[in-house]
Amino acid sequence: MQTAHAHRPSANRNQPEFDAVVVGAGFSGLYMLHRLRQLGVTTRVYEAGGGVGGTWYWNRYPGARCDSESWVYCYSFSDEILQEWTWTERYPSQPEIERYLNYVADRLDLRRDIQFNTRVTAAAFDEATGRWLITTDAGEQVWATYFITAVGCLSADNLPAFKGLETFQGEWYHTGRWPQEGIDFTGKRVGLIGTGATGIQVAPVVAEQAEHLWVFQRTPNYAIPAHNRPLDPEFIRQLKASYGEVWEIVRRSAAGLPIEPVERSALAVSPEEQRQIYEAAWQKGGFYFLFETFNDILVNPEANETAAAFIRSKIRETVRDPEVAELLCPSDHPYGTKRPPLEHGYYEAFNRDNVTLVDVRKSPIEEITPTGIRTTDGEYPLDIIIFATGFDALTGPLTRIDIRGRGGVALAEKWVSGPRNYLGVAVHGFPNMFTITGPLSPSVLTNMPAAISQHVEWIADCIGYLRQHGYRGIEATADAEDRWVAHANEAAEQTLYPRAKSWYIGANVPGKPRVFMVYVGGLQNYRARCQEIASKGYEGFSLTPEAALAVGAG
């Protein structure tokens, strides 16, 4: 949409001005602030929560734990921090990650530039001056040359519109907005809706406390054992002595994990060898089952079925009641095409007398009543309902902010048929806006801190380049954006990912366009492409010299 006159957001023109405004103080916002400071860029970070952590501030539900191993679920940029900080478990719990991010914030003295308890509600680009006007929920407005979103991929919670929820007399919670003070489930009848990575973590922990837990399952998932364990001092000593090599492997890998690629098809080995390989990965636990077994699980349906069948055989071995075991066996999507959860006693929980699986595929939830949940099979009386129903992923955290680019065009309007951007980091029509781990970047298909670090460093280098070369503005061209969207779509089409009704494709939110929103080409390849683009003077971007803007603003 073109307007005759440059679009100007309305504001008092004497608002405070920063070089950069960053939205969010999780893994990405904290590191972005640190890098911007090193460049001498004045920065204000806004954070909706009362502390640092982002995802790890809000998702403090029982059992919340990271599915990446602690020693790589962290920053790699500072040797001091790597040596000073000591992880205690293979998979870090939410409190430990929150402590880590607080430690980093203190260590780098980041808090003085972060305004907590403040949500950014709007950001509008002023064409005359090439600046962004950012508005918060406190009614505050500030100007910034660079508008950087560090809002995470899974921060806009998805609460399905269940009829009657407002009438429920008990307590209810969404896992992504868990109360700071925690919840005591002792003696309570608890209903858990959702069996994604979150619900699978919640169930065994709540089962240990609650009088009874009903798990309302619509789609069973393929969960792999995590085999969490405390880290012993010798492991830590060796790790700290060899961190350089660990990060080298991470940087070479597609998923940002210390896993070397395998060059072996599941269909090229005998059934016995195949089972041995799966069994070894099962015993090891974690994402190794997906990434260290065979290289065609995510691209070949037949190969995928061998992994799926193995997992089903494990579920049947673990769950004593054969009917319950069958209900827990997934078959409607290929393994790995929904984010594969790790489990800490999930399947065993169904062997407890106080846990019941409710099949809401067969008997859907009709409504929430004042006293519980009613499915087409009858009512389940409950004291507490937990919604582990996920997120309006990837685009939701951005489109829930009223972001307007050139011509006053809203990002939500531009993305009405799915996200469109260049490299997942820049959007045509939205100059000087950078989206850390935005849609169509590798993000959630990787170990997040690895993807975040790559984006933050690339953005910082880009801003450094602009300042050094006298540019005030940078904007993805329409052509580069079209090519990136086409490339990202093509890459996804070559995999099995689009075959699942997952949040990767927007299928979990009614009315959301079905577009695969993540770049599947691998973090290592993506990093190389981003470096190449930068080395060519930011190919696919148009750069605005300071002088040109000064004239335009006249």
User: Which residues make up the interface to ligand NAP (CB under 6 A)?
Assistant: 65-67, 154, 160, 193-199, 201, 216, 218-219, 339, 360, 365, 388-391, 444, 503, 508
Q: Evaluate whether 191 touches 373 at the Cβ level (below 8 Å).
A: yes
- Least distance in angstroms from the C-beta of 361 to ligand NAP: 7
CB of 330 to ligand NAP, least distance (A): 9
Nearest to ligand NAP of 136, 389 (CB atom): 389
Nearest-CA neighbor of 397 among 343, 368, 436, 363?
A: 436
As a whole number of angstroms, the distance between CA 202 and CA 352 comes to: 15
Sheet strands (E) in 257-396? 342-343, 355-359, 365-369, 372-375, 378-381, 384-387
The kind and range of the H/E element at 144 are strand 141-149
**Closest distance of CB 67 from ligand NAP, Å:** 3
In the bound complex, what is the minimum distance in angstroms from residue 455's beta carbon to ligand NAP? 17
Helix ranges, 355-446 (H): 396-399, 411-414
User: Which is closer to ligand NAP, CB of 16 or CB of 364?
Assistant: 364
SS3 198: helix
Residue whose CB is less far from ligand NAP, 160 or 164: 160
C-beta of 346 vs 484, nearer to ligand NAP: 346
Burial readout 451-477 (b: 16 or more C-beta within 10 A, e: otherwise): bbbbbbbbbbebbbebbeeebbbbbbe
Closer by beta carbon to ligand NAP, 61 or else 146: 61
CA distance 487 to 104: 37
Q: Report helix, strand or coil for 511.
A: coil
DSSP class of 38 = H
Shorter beta-carbon distance to ligand NAP: residue 199 or 336: 199
- Work out how close the CB of 530 gets to ligand NAP at its nearest, in angstroms, rounded to a whole number: 23
CB of 374 to ligand NAP, least distance (A): 13
Shorter beta-carbon distance to ligand NAP: residue 193 or 266: 193
Cβ 130 to ligand NAP shortest distance, Å:
36
β-strand pairing of 471-476 with 541-545:
antiparallel
Whether residue 97 contacts residue 66, with contact meaning beta carbons closer than 8 Å, is answered with yes
Q: Which is nearer to ligand NAP, 95 or 187 (CB)?
A: 95
CB of 345 to ligand NAP, least distance (A): 15
CA 288 to CA 262: how far, in whole Å?
11
Query: Among residues 218, 503, 164, which one has the least CA distance to residue 358?
Result: 218
d(CA 509, CA 156): 11
